[in-house]
Amino acid sequence: MTTDMCTRRDFLKTTALAAASLTLYSGALQGAAGKAADDRPNILWIIAEDICPDIGCYGHPLVKTPNIDKLAGEGARYTNAFTTSPVCSPSRSAFMTGMYQTSIGCHHHRSHRYDGYTLPEPVKIITEYFHEAGYFTSNCEGLAWHRPGKTDLNFAVDKPFDGTDWRKRKAGQPFYAQVNLSETHRIFKLDPDNPIDKNEVELPPYYPDHPIARRDWANYLECVQVLDKKVGKVLKRLEEDGLADDTVVFFFGDHGRPHLRGKQFLYEGGIHIPLIIRRPGHIEPGTVVDHLVSAIDLAPTSLKLAGIEPPKHMQGYIFMGAGTRRRNHIIAARDRCDGTADRIRCVRTKRFKYIRNYFPNRPYTQFNLYKKHRYPMWALMQILYAEDKLTPQQQLFMASTRPEEEFYDLRTDPYELNNLANVPRHNNLLRSLRKMLDKWSKGTDDKGAICEDPSIGVKAYKDVQEYYEPEQKKRGLPANAPPTEYLKYWQKTLFPSGIKGQAER
């Protein structure tokens, strides 16, 4: 195994993964040559932050998402889509290049802030290819069409987009646009129109059945509903501009939900995302696709749909259109997040998941200031663990160490609680997935094996500290406040009329 964190080195020549997955088209696409520019489809990515498929059309009984549900009914809903990282900047660096963040030196969270790192040749951000092909590229934040949207890339790039609003393009010019929606990112923005009763939510069994846990989970679900309203407004704007029939709409998450055992971890809650694609006349309405898709597949697929041949170095697959194949597994990786050093890798097939912890002597809950400050469950579970009030399933995540290997049968154990790594009857499959990860690591030049300059991690921690300490003072809490003080704060914040009161909002 390796030591803590890793520096970047020159990009190792590697063979791109073969293009793959499902053909949903009525016919093969032609290349850009021989097609008029205004014949090419527009490409719209609606990117939601910190979200799993906790959506009505994915079967969630409490969440009201009529706009996203309608989008799915008009296109294809993917049930096995995953990001390559469980935190924003490595994940976005990957799906904006079609490359694993571990291959291009972008695997540590927000490392671009400290060293001005640029992408290794021949890797480019996908907007460069769209721009070269005559597309207008834009990115906006929410419904503020004048404000640049989130990029959060772990590399420096001069001008990633041409503007913020697709309406600024030239007459007849096709566009590639991103609309970034942050509603499901903490701090949660609640839905006054459709409040969710905390007593009706179904908590995962790895969380304690406690009013704070229930309220925090319900608040997240409400944010999905608020997000849905904005999705509806974006789609309405597209229709008002007469562009709905000429635009391929992608709706997906940048990584999983912002809860313990979710964001920053490789369990399903950290990497499983919604993915919905609509293109009238080409995708059968109401299609449900269970094939595996990785977020790095979005870049080459979008380029191909626009008649732009994806570069051969891209590691993502083309999963719709001409010449597609299917994945039999996805790979995801977690490295330093904020000032918290870690290295975790996973292989996931449709049924099984193999996780490798490179630092098994560290707890899952090693210190992270962001989680301490933003997650009510962080304080709650620490207290209940100390009081021996957690179930055995809930205690797993609070242990002082973790296994070097984890292996789960997702069909029988969807919450990933029964580690089968030491069960003899699974030895052959475990060895197979182990070799698969080793082959991927070597073949894609996983830079997580190289130590990062420790000063970068220190700077990352100081950045977070400088942001949160003033907020701590506003809360009336010292920076080193114990979990009991944090829990009191969350009780007052989540239940201003008392934990048993009705006015919880």
Q: pLDDT digits over 197-244, tens only?
A: 999 999 999 999 999 999 999 999 999 999 999 999 999 999 999 999
- Please provide the distance, in angstroms rounded to a whole number, between the alpha carbons at the two ends of the chain: 48
Q: Name the CATH superfamily for 37-327.
A: Alkaline Phosphatase, subunit A (3.40.720.10)
Quick one: tokens of 333? 């990786």
Question: Which one, of 258, 297, 304, 308, lies nearest residue 275 by Cα?
Answer: 297
Cα 46 from chain centroid (whole Å): 13
Asked if 176 contacts 246 with a C-beta cutoff of 8 angstroms, the reply is no
Paired with 144 in beta bridges are 141
pLDDT on residue 459 = 86
Active site (annotated) includes residue 88? yes
By DSSP bridging, strand 330-334 and strand 344-348 are antiparallel
268-288 pLDDT, tens digit per residue, is 999 999 999 999 999 999 999
pTM of the model: 0.91
4-53 pLDDT, tens digit per residue, is 333 333 333 333 333 333 334 333 333 333 334 468 999 999 999 999 99
Residues 6+ apart with CB under 8 A from 31: 307, 309
Asked if 276 contacts 75 with a C-beta cutoff of 8 angstroms, the reply is yes
Domain boundaries, the chain: 37-327
Asked if 68 contacts 79 with a C-beta cutoff of 8 angstroms, the reply is no
Helices and strands in the chain, H and E counts: 13, 13
Q: Which of 88, 140, 223, 337 is catalytic?
A: 88
